[in-house]
Structure 1
Amino acid sequence: MEKTVIKTGATVDEAIEAALSELGCTKEQATVEVIEEGTEGGFLGLGRKDAEVKVTFNSEEAAEETSSSAESDDTYYGDDESFEGDAVSEAEDAAANFVAEVLSGIGIHGNMDSYREDDTIYISVTGSDCGAAIGRHGETLEAISYMTNLIANKHSEQRVHVYLDVGGYRKHREQVIKGLADKAVTRVRRSGRKVVMEAMSPAERRIVHSYLQDVPGVSTHSEGVEPNRCVVVTPVEKK
């Protein structure tokens, strides 16, 4: 299926990058037509004109190219076979292509598996030196996940959620968070007082709330302002 967008920017390259980001594809997968080169203008930028480009992405051709190069070690590819043909959603394709482009751009190469289950798209990337895509306390991974969710939902009529894990970080972090939650519950039961956990991202706080929602004797809520917002575990009086 062919998609076309027209974008402007301070330079031609800026306009092209904006178009590729919206389409969720690489420059190699797209046809670029420069409508306006743009000019810098004179004193204080007076008379400056933005560059304007028309970028077209053919998802079917891109899928064929991905299939033909799937054996390369430096190429991301999804090898899950539970979805074939029309069952592979456009949103999943767009999300996977975007993640592959971003990670390739920061020099991370490896294998990528993706599949869709109900309204969730799962993307898992494995490879060496994935640290640059994770960042301090997973901040970079959260940023990539946020952008990937935006891309996926632009290509879906129904709301979808992308669960992205790189180098197994999210799975490992989830286990650590659950361990911290267990310790917080133990402290609450021993002291009878509320326990404020460490500052966490919104996604990590959701893990705690979900994990402890059925635990008897405690309740949870969040307090504070980002990025220092924390989960508070509070004792619940028995009736």
Structure 2
Amino acid sequence: MRVRIYSDLHVEFASQPKLDFEGTVDDDLVVLAGDIHTKGRGVSWAQDAFSVPVVYICGNHEFYKGHIDRTLQSMKRSAAGTNVHVLDNESMTIGDLRILGACAWTDFSSKGSVYQSSLEARSVMNDFRLIRAGEEYRKLRIDDIIRRNHQTYDYLSQELARGFDGKTLVVTHHCPLVEFSGPEKDSELMPAYSNEWPELVGQADYWVFGHTHHRVDAMVAGCRLISNPRGYPGEKCGFDQEFVLEII
């Protein structure tokens, strides 16, 4: 099986160079690991860009200038019955490949002090200014993110424990291991970019993620960890448009 992997394409920026996806017609699956477009527009973009099945995981930017729950619902409605599959704490199977997908978020604990890390994130990250939540359409809060992160951890723990007679691919937007959190690894913001889930990574065959804007292709505890982000206009992240994961 040929799996094309992309994340952080950020097509919402008008200055972002156009990409040619003609080569993907020979692929069996395209994985989009979040931060493709804002306000749910990534679904229609993916429908136009790809003719093969697409697994689409939301990143934080998908929710910018929108509501965290309503945007996801809108994306799912737009994707229903098409080649694009929007997964959030959900799974699907293609042949002998099981795919578990979730944005993941973080609970800000990967550096030790949840209070200090969340304070830093809230003060500088656009998520808390541009994403709305709750019935009252209020600004996103730290506790909203932590709750979603814990739900994803529980979901992945349960699903990975079930076992599967085939290969398992986990797709999250946020990084599952601090070691691979890229340029933010030693910064106060690192806990907003990465979880520390070695006990989960070791149960998957492949784990695809984004968010860090740092290319990764590494083996960890029997799991191949992959990130292939394009990043912001002009940013050099190690992006390889032709990268394909071959699953045998």
Query: When you count helix as a share of all residues, which structure comes out higher?
Result: 1
Work out which structure has the larger RCO, using CA pairs closer than 8 Å and 6 or more positions apart in sequence. 2
Larger radius of gyration: 1
